[in-house]
A = this chain, B = another copy of it.
Amino acid sequence: MYPYNLCLPTNLVFGKGRVSELPDLVSGMGKNVLLAYGGGSIKKIGLYDRVKALLNGFNIVELSGIEPNPKIGSVREGVRLCRENKVDFILAVGGGSVIDCVKNVACGVFYEGDPWDLVLDRTKIGKSLPIVSILTLAATGSEYDGGAVITNPDTHEKLALLGGPSLFPKISILDPEYTYTVSARQTAAGSADIFNHTLESYLVKEGNILTDGICEGMLKTVIKYAPIAIKDPQNYEARAALMQVASFGCNDVPAIGRTPSVWVCHGIEHEVSAWYDITHGVGLAILTPPLMRWTLRDPVSLDRFYQYGTNVWGIAPSDDKMKVANEAIDRTAEFFKSIGLPARLSELGITDEHFGEMADHVLAHWWPLDKAMRPVDRDGVIEILKMSL
């Protein structure tokens, strides 16, 4: 059992219609609000008007147009707005990109220099504004963690802001009905994101019974409910189940006491989407099976992949563990395909042109990939990328 710290200060408020509790939930947090959102889908679904009505009497300033893969430019704009309007708290309405963006805004407000510095050096993160989120996409888990991923287009960098407990939203309202209009493709990409977050914790050298149960529960939830949500977008149970497990993707609960994970797939995917601005979950879905096949060449990973096969995919136990492990990887690839996700980087127009730069950057800036279950070096990154082409 590895040592761990766990601190999850967010108040999760989950269920149909619970947005109506917003005024009570934020009472006492101040009257000046930064309302942050993305491209306007919250207007189409009526959530924008609903929130404005609920916050009648508050002074609302808006940060709109936050991009998928949020850019540092939006962060800088948010910081400016908060300072100019003496904002007391930030209300993020949207998916992971919006919540990620406001995390950098929240700590950027109290930092004198450029907020990108805080991404490059977490020790510079100090005080931050409180964040409230209303989630509209089950995917990143940003509503229940202290991290964010920010892109700097000038430097082709997509990096993690790691704020810890102080950057967890104070409150996250999770109403599955607000995900009914998420498209099939976005639902699939979000599901791949949840799935891969869980795998990053699950596929490590040493697990434990509790978190194996948690991870397997999360994976089986996605396998069961993603296809239902795609086929029947207004199926409450499916949307609710995906939203429930999404929250646990990046908050360390699935990882407590396990061999520390190094999030190999995320590291590599962030390089790809930093260069090509593809949807994060799509990139993860493409990279996962090749990374699994590459990892399984190291015998140390066999037992974990075997357990993954029997416990998650329900493959019959067998003395031929390798066969089960390979079948589990095949099933993973088939699952992503079945929910409509592309299987190859080349389908997105990506070539091997920047693989070298991606490999150099992931090793310099992300987790120590040499601590993975099968250690990954520069050649490994390039090989996994080539296997994904």
Q: Chain A interface (Cβ within 8 Å of chain B)?
A: 1-16, 18, 165, 176, 208-218, 220-221, 224, 236-237, 240-241, 244-245, 248, 253, 256-257
Contact = CB atoms under 8 A, between A and B. Distances in A.
Contact of A224 (B209, B218, B240, B257): B209
A253 B210 CA distance: 12
B217 A221 contact: no
Given A5-B14, A257-B244, A213 B218 contact: yes
Contacts of A6: 11-12, 14
9 contacts: A1-B240, A2-B15, A3-B15, A4-B15, A5-B12, A6-B14, A7-B10, A7-B12, A8-B9
B14 A7 contact: no
Count copies of this chain in the complex.
2
A208 B1 contact: no
A256 B221 CA distance: 14
A257 B1 contact: no
Contact of A241 (B4, B165, B209, B236): B209
A15 to B, nearest CB: 3
Contacts of A253: 253
B257 A240 contact: yes
A61 to B, nearest CB: 28
A220 B220 CA distance: 19
A5 B216 CA distance: 23
Contacts of A224: 209
Which of A2, A4, A176 has the most B CB atoms < 10 Å from its CB? A4
A221 B245 contact: no
A171 to B, nearest CB: 9
A219 B375 CA distance: 33
B8 A208 contact: no
A237 B209 CA distance: 12
Nearest to A14: B4
Contacts of A165: 11
Given A3-B16, A214-B213, A217-B214, A241 B176 contact: no
Contact of A244 (B13, B215, B256): B256
Given A6-B11, A209-B241, A210-B241, 15 more contacts: A1-B176, A1-B240, A3-B14, A3-B15, A3-B18, A4-B14, A5-B13, A6-B14, A8-B8, A14-B257, A208-B221, A210-B214, A210-B248, A212-B217, A213-B214
